[in-house]
Amino acid sequence: MRSIKPESKRTVGEWTWNSDTLLKKVVKGTEEECWTWTGSTGPHSNLFGAIKNGRRQMTQATRILYRELYNEDVDGYEIQHTCKNKYCVNPSHWRKYKIQSGKWWKE
């Protein structure tokens, strides 16, 4: 397994990732515009490889970017896009919802 350079390694909660690699996959626009994710994608979202509990796995890039930008874990929450563009990673387009009993509650 490749190691992450210490200067670009970030950890929040159980997750660790390479900040340099993550941020290179974002094409930023203005605050109003969608920011395009240029990394891997799946049928439902953008994807990024990270390490959780010492094991590599793919997760939603939006969730890792949220951790990167806000230094806060999002376990137990869903990040919804107000723009309805599933590949947008502009944080001004995000709303965080707490998952409670299968329902979402805006926080």
Rounded percentage of the chain residues whose pLDDT exceeds 90? 34
Residue 26 contacts residue 35 (beta carbons within 8 Å): yes
Q: What is the pLDDT, as a whole number, of residue 103? A: 58
User: Has residue 50 got a pLDDT over 70?
Assistant: yes
Phi, psi of 75 (to 5 degrees): -60, 135
Please tell me the distance from the alpha carbon of residue 70 to that of residue 16, in angstroms, as a whole number.
15
Among 90, 73, 104, residue whose Cα is nearest residue 32: 90
Predicted TM-score (pTM) of the model is 0.80
9-41, pLDDT tens digit by residue? 889 888 999 999 999 999 999 989 999 999 998
Region 30-59 average pLDDT = 89
